[in-house]
Structure 1
Amino acid sequence: MKNLFLSMIIFIGLAGYAQESTPESAASKEPSRLNFNVTLATSHLWRGLIISPSMTAMGDIHYTFDKNRNFSVGVWGGNSFDGKYTEVDYYVQYKHKGLTIGLWDLFNTTNVEHPEVFNYDKNTTTHLIDLRTSYRFSQEFPLRIEADIILYGNDKELNSDANYKNRYSTYVELGYPIIKNDEITLDAYVGAGFSLDGKTNLYIKDPDRNFGIVNTGLKASKDISIFQYKLPVFAGIMWNPAEKYTRMQLGVSLF
């Protein structure tokens, strides 16, 4: 797996070198509104949860509708190298300056015996409809605030009438770059999970606990040069105080 990882980095480096050699007239054209990117990571961590403990490839295809590139639609997907994790998500998203608002349809088929991609029945669906919001303040004060709510889907618990009800599991995170210079950025973050209408939530296994710090950590990122191509790499460590575990993650954004 290590050799495969290095081979992909070298391949992208060669592709980047070829792109650097293109004529200036081609580089001056307006960027396409259709774009995609690919990331490799030693695991897939999400809001303090270990979604995939093994090497994972993640890709995103998106299209922007307006010339200012504020409004976009896209598909995000992830697959682990061991074949145990598969996910395909759809989203619409709006970005303007520091504000981001998105509506995501999450479809993770891991451990689902018969996944049905078009099943949105409130009692049997395995989809999650996730409202994501975030705001980053000015460069002088680059605090980032994130608040996400599961609006619908497989996020429910039994109520007193023995019927399922939506918990509206919520995740709130604060992030701040404690080091940022021309060489490296080090971000610190802390996130909490709770539900708006339930005794439990998606992020904590304890049935008697509705609130907890589920995601804290540090993430360092920088660019490394390969054949005149700058390749973004990152390394981070995550602690989940509520579930009492930690994970180290390494990754590279190939393009």
Structure 2
Amino acid sequence: MKKVILVILVAVLSMQVGFAQETDLKDSPIDFSVDIKSNHLWRGLVITDKPMVAVFTSIKLNKSGSFTTGFWGGMAFSNESDGSSYKEINYYVQYAENGFSIALWDLFNTRGVANPDVWDYDKETSGHLLDLRTSYNFGESFPLRLEADFLLFGSGDGQYDQNLDFEQRYSTYVQVSYPLVKDAKVNLDGFVGAGFSLNGDTHLYGDGQENFDLVNVGLTASKTVMLGNYSLPVSTTVLWNPSLKYARVQLAFNLF
């Protein structure tokens, strides 16, 4: 893992030198970023405990950039203990302005799936999850961020009623986050997230026993490390999932 990170950092530094010389390039509506993380955590869930790389690509759909679309992809560097490997590709469209955002995401994670079918959108068999995401940030004077996300479709969030008919649980995730330390050499954010179901007795994020659980409580510390003229944003997150009764630490590098 150390060798992989070293090789990538050397490549990034070389790219930065090349980019610095190209000062006359015009602006583009397309941008992308690359992260390397020690594991992948999402809404209190451990998606993979293996080191992974994530790529996020965004495309502006209007001049101001309030409408965007794009994709997020992730892949583990090695297999899980059961021999399966983590791979994920997600698509999204989003509107964001004045602290408010609303987005529709199509999530497709193939970990543990023997024969994944990216074109399968049958509600009872599809590996896709349609995720409606909303958030609001109150601004610099009171930088509290509220988030509410709703799973609208997908067999991974389904259940069968008494007549054995398939129905969605509409698992919902809500989170409050706040910067405890900002504009410092090391910043610190705190967050608390809960999960519940709009249609059922259980939800995706908990232990399957309750309809409402605290599932994601933690802190994220972040700073920028200087490597010559190159700045490398680094963060570490510690989280607890009180429902599933586990905790994790994550180290993340934002390469560019």
**Bin for the TM-score computed over the shorter chain:** over 0.9
Q: Which of 158, 179, 199 in structure 1 is aligned with 2:201?
A: 199
Amino acid at match of 1:184: V
**Aligned mate of 1:60, from 49, 56, 60:** 56
TM alignment of 1:1-255, pairs within 5 A: 1-23=1-23, 26=24, 29=26, 31-83=27-79, 84-154=85-155, 155-206=157-208, 208-255=209-256
Distance, in Å, in 1 between the alignment partners of 2:126 and 2:70 is 21
| Cα distance in 2 for residues equivalent to 1:19 and 1:223 | 20
TM-score by length of 2: 0.94
Over the matched positions of the two proteins, sequence identity in percent amounts to 43
Distance 1:157 1:76 in 2: 27
Q: CA contact under 8 A between 1:16 and 1:227: conserved in structure 2?
A: no
- The runs of 5 or more residues in structure 1 that have no matched partner are none
When structure 1 is superposed on structure 2, of 104-113 and 1-10 the one drifting more is 1-10
CA contact (8 A) 1:40 1:56 kept: yes
What do the CA deviations read for 1:195-234 (whole angstroms, capped 9, x no partner)? 001011111123x311100001000111111121211111
Letter in 2 for 1:233: V
The corresponding residue for 2:82 is: none
Distance 1:10 1:217 in 2: 32
| 1:141-178 superposed Cα distances (whole Å, 9 cap, x missing partner) | 10000000001112111211122210000000000000
Segments of structure 2 that go 5 or more residues without pairing to the other structure are: 80-84
Code of the residue aligned with 2:178 in structure 1: it is Y
Instruction: Using the TM superposition, give the Cα deviation of residue 254 of structure 1 relative to its aligned residue in structure 2, in angstroms.
Output: 0.8
How far apart are 1:21 and its partner, in Å? Answer: 4.7
Cα distance in 1 for partners of 2:33, 2:237 equals 20
TM-score between the two structures when normalised by the length of structure 1? 0.94
Distance in 2 of aligned mates of 1:75 and 1:50:
21
Q: Is the 8 A contact 1:17 1:227 kept in 2?
A: no
Task: Please give the alpha-carbon distance, in whole angstroms, between the structure 2 residues aligned to 1:126 and 1:233.
Answer: 32
The DSSP-based 3-state class of the residue aligned with 1:8 is helix
Is the Cα contact below 8 Å between 1:38 and 1:253 reproduced in 2? yes
For 1:217, give the aligned amino acid.
G
Separation of aligned partners in 2, 1:19 and 1:229: 12
CA distance in 1, matches of 2:57, 2:22: 24
Structure 1 Cα separation of the partners of residues 21 and 223 of structure 2: 23
Question: What is the rounded CA distance, in whole Å, between the counterparts of 1:142 and 1:14 in structure 2?
Answer: 36
Q: Residues of 2 paired with 1:217 and 1:79: CA distance?
A: 24
The Cα shift of 1:45 comes to 0.1
